[in-house]
Amino acid sequence: MTTAETLDLRCSTQARSLAADPLGTAVHAPAVLLVEVPLPWPADIADHPALVEVARVAKDLGARLQGLVPDPERAVRREALAVLHTAPEGPFRGYERHAAVVPAQALVEVLGGLAPAPATEVLLCSHGTRDRCCGSLGTILHSGARSRPGVHVRRTSHLGCHRFAPTAVLLPSGTAWAWLDDALLGAILDRRLPPAALAGHYRGSLAMPQGAAQVVEGAVFAAVGWDWLDHARRAHVVAETGDRWTVRLDSTAGTWHGVVERTGAAPQPVCGQPLADATKSDDHLRLVQLEQV
């Protein structure tokens, strides 16, 4: 097999060739727990020997567990960073961040007492044992990311949907992104481009409960602009009939009703395998109606 053929079988390359739409694929997470943990990582970060008890705590908290590549200086001191982002009760405006640097062997004991520590987190998936696209493309993106005051750019474990690599999640906004590069990541962080121009890279909000709600929220985000992320918002499905969902999106910017339909499916590519061998599929979700009420 030639180098070109090998690249063509990367899941990210194949998903692009299918013109897959990433909107509606963000992982819903009422809370996100970030913990520095040594490489190598197992395919499921919860199976890491150093995180067995931490994974149980994360489950009790209803939090998605994410590994972070350790800071070398902290690792030498046998310390680890732990960060807990939690969504507030009621409408979502952003995650609340609590963090601490603690002895690596004492992670479980301190997770309930993390101190408020506002900051922006950029999580770039570089989980190579889960998927080679994330392992290579995510690591490259991290190495070229420009530092910004108050912004922590971190290599993390699986963020879902590695076929959209390089993928990222921004916290506290809870926005998930696909197929990034240096320029796109910078445009998102600096808000240099309107969300409508980034629509093909937006996976959705971690605060939205399911794909249909994420599709409606994504459309409103594109229409309102970056100010949308400053508004409190909540979405829920008010009607579901087969492959059709009606979503109500309430916010301090207004209320919208949206209708989303499943219009088909496409094979879900897997790294190193041709599309004909795919065993999973991705739903095509299409917004067919959106009105502000």
Range with lowest mean pLDDT among 7-21, 139-153, 270-284: 7-21
- Does residue 167 surpass a pLDDT of 90? yes
For residue 277, is it within any domain? no
- Does residue 2 surpass a pLDDT of 60? no
Average pLDDT (91-118) is 94
For residue 126, is it within any domain? yes
Query: 126, 69 in Cβ contact below 8 A?
Result: yes
Task: Report the share of the chain in percent with pLDDT over 90.
Answer: 79
Q: What is the mean pLDDT of the chain?
A: 93
For residue 125, is it within any domain? yes
Residue 108 CA, distance from chain mean position = 24
79-86 and 96-103: which strand pairing? antiparallel
| Count of domains forming the chain | 1
At residue 1 the predicted structure's pLDDT band, cuts being 50, 70 and 90, is very low
For residue 13, is it within any domain? yes
- Does residue 5 surpass a pLDDT of 50? no
Average pLDDT (125-146) is 92
At residue 103 the predicted structure's pLDDT band, cuts being 50, 70 and 90, is very high
Q: What does the DSSP assignment read for the chain?
A: --HHHHHHTSHHHHHHHTT---TT-PPP-SEEEEEE-PSP--SSGGG-GGGHHHHHHHHHHTEEEEEEPPPHHHHHTTEEEEEEEEPPSSSBS-PEEEEEEEEGGGHHHHGGGPEE---EEEEEE--TTT-HHIIIIIHHHHHHPPPBTTEEEEEES--S-GGG-S-EEEETTTEEE-S--HHHHHHHHHT-S-GGGGGGGEEEETTSSSHHHHHHHHHHHHHH-GGGGGS-EEEEEEEEETTEEEEEEEETTEEEEEEEEEEEEEE---TTS-GGG---EEEEEEEEEEEE-
Residue with tokens 């900051």: 119
pTM (two decimals): 0.94
For residue 259, is it within any domain? no
The pLDDT of residue 41: 97
- Range of the structural domain that residue 19 is part of: 1-208
User: 183-238 pLDDT, tens per residue?
Assistant: 999 999 999 999 999 999 999 999 999 999 999 999 999 999 999 999 999 999 99
- How many angstroms separate the Cα of 108 from the Cα of each of 52, 100, 114, 136, 161? 10, 12, 11, 31, 29
For residue 285, is it within any domain? no
Q: What does the DSSP assignment read for 105-119?
A: GGHHHHGGGPEE---
For residue 252, is it within any domain? no
Average pLDDT (78-107) is 95
Range with lowest mean pLDDT among 60-69, 92-101, 271-280: 271-280
Range with lowest mean pLDDT among 85-89, 104-108, 242-246, 269-273: 269-273
- Does residue 267 surpass a pLDDT of 90? no
Residues paired with residue 170 on neighbouring β-strands, in sequence order: 122, 175
For residue 248, is it within any domain? no
| Of residues 181, 244, 179, the one with CA closest to residue 22 | 179
Average pLDDT (154-172) is 94
The pLDDT of residue 16: 83
At residue 14 the predicted structure's pLDDT band, cuts being 50, 70 and 90, is confident
| Of residues 58, 191, 176, the one with CA closest to residue 121 | 176
